Amino acid sequence: MTGFALSDEQVCERWVYDPYFQYFSGEEFFQHAFPHERSDLSHWRSRLGDKLELLLAESLRIAHQAGALRTSDLARVTVDTTVQPKAITFPTDAKLLHAAIKGLNRLANRHSVRLRQSYLRIAKRAAMMAGRYAHAKQFKRHRRELRLLRARLGRIIRDISRKIAGKAEIEAALQWPLARASQIRSQQQRQRGWKLYSFHAPEVECIGKGKASAPYEFGVKASIVTTNARAPGGQFVLHAKALPGNPYDGHTLGAVIAATERLTGRAIERVYVDKGYRGHDTKSPRRVFISGQKRGVFGVIKRELRRRSAIEAVIGHMKNDGHLGRCHLKGRPGDAANAILSAVGYNLRRVLARLKILLHLILAALLRPARVHPPSKRLLNGRLISVLGRVRD
């Protein structure tokens, strides 16, 4: 439930004791148990697929109907990418090893696999001391705690593998968690290639956008398309999509333009992007203008290119006012759904702001007191005469 920034597990837990959640879910009587499995929420998002884009199209239709968005505003757009961070802690080696130990113990208890030793107490203390030693720059002691965690994790992996041998159902259920734990145990801090950054969210990627405040962000890349000119209701998001795999920005531009045209039903005349899109793959490269470009930039195009940076404020509002800044939904379908729902929420907030302004204008006109004009006065032969005919000395 992105409106409350809750994960699937937290939604299931809160639904049981919150009567408002149950009422808006259609329940007539208070229920004391959640009627579905937590995984049903993930399966439901997977079944939705690309149908959430229809919700984004509906938000644009409402904005157009309310007078906040004009059809001409859809012809010139700005495209940019950002990082949608996942709801995970910063992935240090000690945290990952500790999370793998806790995760395997939890799965072993769920499948009734009795471990020789859980190492939960030892792993908790080792992870805590590793963080303290690293903060104090005592790296030899820090590496000693990491070796202890890796050794205990290896013992748990081998213990589970021995005890589930020959049990096909449990082997199938624990195959992927054991593979993730083995990857966490074997990977090094500065190794090249693919790495696992979260035990419970293996889809998380490390993305560096060159920002001084956050050199590396952990989540998924997302593409955002907004109107270039300011519509009567502000700038609106025309398309939003998660881009797993951290692709190069220029290689995604062609597909993003085609999807935006399909969603809005309006051909895009000009596209404004930053320098990260150099070498793009669009069919009409002459209608794409890159920031800092000099050739072919004059007049209206020059003014519109200067407005390209206005998309940064839109992305900032989507992250701070919406939920693009931290995704709590599970898996890649959750990443895709969170990006689209953040865009829908942003558009609806723009429409509500527009309607609020109109309401204030209407109320101000209705509540304005009637102005009574005083009778006009004229000077005649040195005497002040009003229009009503009275004479004053």
SS3 159: helix
SS3 218: strand
Query: How high is the mean pLDDT of the chain?
Result: 89
Q: What is the mean pLDDT of residues 53-68?
A: 93
Provide the residue count of the chain. 393
- Complete DSSP assignment for 15-29: HHH-HHHHHHTT-SS
More confidently predicted of 340 and 2? 340
Euclidean distance between the first and final Cα of the chain, in Å?
A: 79
Q: What is the mean pLDDT of residues 288-293?
A: 90
d(CA 119, CA 181): 15
d(CA 207, CA 244): 11
Confidence of residue 281 (pLDDT cuts 50, 70, 90): confident
Q: What is the mean pLDDT of residues 293-302?
A: 87
Structural domain boundaries of the chain?
1-36, 50-88+205-352, 93-186
User: What burial class does residue 106 get, using C-beta atoms within 10 Å of its C-beta: 0-12 exposed, 13-18 middle, 19+ buried?
Assistant: exposed
- Complete DSSP assignment for 278-341: TT---S-GGGEEETT--TT--THHHHHHHGGGHHHHHHHHHHHTSSTTSB-S-HHHHHHHHHHH
Using the predicted structure, report yes or no on whether residue 391 has a pLDDT greater than 50.
Answer: no
More confidently predicted of 18 and 372? 18
Looking at residue 36, its pLDDT comes to 82
d(CA 142, CA 229): 54
- pLDDT tens, position by position, 212-253: 888 899 999 999 999 999 999 999 999 999 999 999 999 999
d(CA 264, CA 57): 7
Q: pTM of this prediction?
A: 0.82
Taking a C-beta distance cutoff of 8 angstroms, is the pair 103, 181 a contact?
yes
d(CA 177, CA 173): 8
